[in-house]
Structure 1
């Protein structure tokens, strides 16, 4: 399905090759956090929104008033927040508001009290380990419907709508319950990463099969190098490997079975069984980097940069996040998930799609300003500014100036996307749709990597999480074809 759709059925078409050839593909996916309180006071929004509502024109489709205020909160993670500061300068030059900016990793801690009091910010980059769960915000009616953003005039060409200038399929990631509630702005690639220098020094070839992948880790172990590092405190990352392996082994139908909460999504799925047993083989053969289960993402990634492990799973924000820790000659490279025997998708198949969800709270004081901020994010000027600050590709078609230079890891990810046919790119939606299910699976994965449960028990726990999510009446509104 293309980005022009506003239905709740989602497809796999995601990008254009000419866009990919021009720039980078990085992003960030949320990892689990504490539950979000559902309480919400009646104060805020309403009259405050009316006070900051001006004349509607084609260049100002939401009626942003001149002056006033704009409250922006940005997850300060792999991309930092300098890109948003640059955006705010451009926004201030156009509308002249007093802008409040907060860059933080404590999204829930900082914003939960504000949402509960009915006094949320106007724009939120709702990402990171403490992301406020989107499905909870949606159930509490705290997210603005972004349908009007999709239908608004494109900032660079008012003859087009915003939905017409986005990479096809990327808007779909922001749909919950049949409506768009978040703008996932960054075009992301997920997979495994390695050092080109380490491979060259050891004479290793790029592993395309699981056996070749394991052989490199076994060779590394003999040399005192860990085979795989993972971000143990944040099991989202090892789930990148697990879920990618399931999709590539069982094909797109295996992926959709999980998103669609089918009764055999895990238990009864041969692809899931083979995949989780393959991941456990890494643990059982002692191929994990020592201590990785107890490390957070920066600690594990830094150890990997120091040559203490061969591989690490992550999204394509990794290079930007590790700029200060990566040696100059490291030569960061992206690796699509190697194949188990009989895999339905080829080695070139990758998980790629939209990440880094931006939201406008329903009770924002300057809701019009928040919507306009998101619209201007879809301009070439703002998209290029983001690429320059964050080494990333956005979901805006041809939205990055050709002059942007690519680092080695980014270039490698771009080449991987370019080598993968559109119909063989895949992406999971359950992470946004069913946060409790996602967290339960992550917990099971942490237990598996620590050898506290078996692959069979992991499958049972994952299926139990699916079955529980399926009982929620709201799940009927989420369906992939």
Structure 2
């Protein structure tokens, strides 16, 4: 059992004075990796010192691969890479933006041509377990134990939100840095609600009643993209199930516990959302990708959209003045939900790792340390409108409506925080299967009971496969 402070307590330390203020996903998945065929580059470190605790070779090139999704990649080129270049003026930086992390990098890891730092995010993320099995993920212990650039008197680990180190562990070793604090729930236009005099629904009955009102106005109560982004709704199903049955629902799913996907809270959550889609959804959204659906949301053609804290920044160029992002918890689905209406999912996300067999692993660790500096973290929040896992660096920032709304929702939740599901990073095959099943159940091709059975079958297959490393959690 973890003895660290509650997530609520540590998140309050992020830097808000009046207010209290994702896993990155899988890796070499669909193909067997085989042992690296190419030569492994020399990774000898330079002598360590107080000024260079990680032993960085100041002249060695650093290659950084960034997922250019909702947060873009400007924060890397203009901020983090700039910080590295300022410190190591003779080091060249090779910047690689991509929206297809797995597709682009699998061949490189297999051939022995790994980049140094990878932002492993998006729907095509690499399978972390497969990379670990092949020895590709560097041990981040030197990073967590290095002097912090926020306060050199402290180790890096002591400047971070609680849960960051725990979420970095794979087989008991820190391998992945989750960089942002994420709020995942339902997003809506606060200005539209104020204009029409609508109240944010707190119960499922109120949610359905609002759906009828919205239908009269030609607005869909809810939509999610069937192309590219079905995992948004898969998250929504899992976190809704936790609201009904408590966080044990998620812990059991992550632990591949017998019958976890067939548990009644899961069935109830899936049935509830399938009903909303059937009664108030528009199947045309199944053919749209996430950004196309999010434009419809900005046009007030959709009331609620399930997504994470990156949404506002992702749509900044398209957002009209008439739209003000606000976040709402999922309405209470049953009268006896284990968690109150105010419960909301708050976790860490946006995975970064250093390639153990890259040409410059020491530089990769130093790059992450710079990301976790005051300038690196505060600047990231300014540029992307997302909070990082570094404590106490955002005081005085002019926060956006979405961030203020998320902070208010977090304040209302108190200790009722829905934990982050980890099977996405632990078992990518299960997560990918879940996206297919989510599309099937939301489109009415299978029943909620079939969804649960199909997910349980896949989970059982993975559990029985001795070739797959198993992970466990207690909370």
Cross-structure match for 2:381: 387
Q: Residue deviations 1:174-218, cap 9 Å, x none?
A: 222221111000110101111112212222101111111121112
Q: Residue deviations 1:323-354, cap 9 Å, x none?
A: 11111121111011111221011111111111
Cross-structure match for 2:345: 351
Partners of 1:338 and 1:124 lie apart in 2 by 37
Partners of 1:30 and 1:359 lie apart in 2 by 12
Residue 311 of structure 1, CA deviation: 0.8
2:172 aligned to 154, 168, 178, which one? 178
CA separation of 1:456/1:192 partners in 2, compared to 1, >3 Å: closer, same or farther?
same
Partners of 1:478 and 1:42 lie apart in 2 by 32
Once superposed, what is the RMSD of the aligned Cα atoms? 2.4
Number of residue-to-residue matches in the alignment = 470
1:288 aligned to 277, 281, 290, which one? 281
Residue 88 of structure 1, CA deviation: 1.0
TM-score (norm 1): 0.92
Cross-structure match for 2:268: 274
Alignment of 1:265 with 2:257, yes or no, is no
Instruction: Give secondary structure in 2 for the equivalent of 1:21.
Output: coil
Q: Residue deviations 1:348-375, cap 9 Å, x none?
A: 1111111000010110100100011111
CA separation of 1:27/1:169 partners in 2, compared to 1, >3 Å: closer, same or farther?
closer
Alignment of 1:155 with 2:152, yes or no, is no
2:363 aligned to 361, 364, 369, which one? 369
Cross-structure match for 2:61: 69
Residue 252 of structure 1, CA deviation: 1.4
CA separation of 1:23/1:46 partners in 2, compared to 1, >3 Å: closer, same or farther?
farther
Contact between 2:182 and 2:346, CA under 8 Å: does it hold in 1? yes
Partners of 2:140 and 2:3 lie apart in 1 by 13
Instruction: Give secondary structure in 1 for the equivalent of 2:10.
Output: coil
Residue 12 of structure 1, CA deviation: 5.8
CA separation of 1:76/1:121 partners in 2, compared to 1, >3 Å: closer, same or farther?
same
Partners of 2:216 and 2:189 lie apart in 1 by 18
Alignment of 1:419 with 2:415, yes or no, is no
Cross-structure match for 1:189: 183
TM-score (norm 2): 0.93
Q: Residue deviations 1:131-185, cap 9 Å, x none?
A: 1121221222211111222122212323221111110112222222221111000
Note the 1:42-441 alignment, pairs <5 A. Answer: 42-47=37-42, 49-50=43-44, 53-85=45-77, 86-96=79-89, 97-233=91-227, 234-267=229-262, 269-285=263-279, 287-340=280-333, 341-400=335-394, 402-422=395-415, 424-441=417-434
Residue 38 of structure 1, CA deviation: 0.5
Contact between 1:105 and 1:130, CA under 8 Å: does it hold in 2? yes
Partners of 1:457 and 1:2 lie apart in 2 by 36
Partners of 1:25 and 1:335 lie apart in 2 by 16
Instruction: Give secondary structure in 1 for the equivalent of 2:97.
Output: strand
Partners of 1:23 and 1:296 lie apart in 2 by 38
Residue 476 of structure 1, CA deviation: 4.0
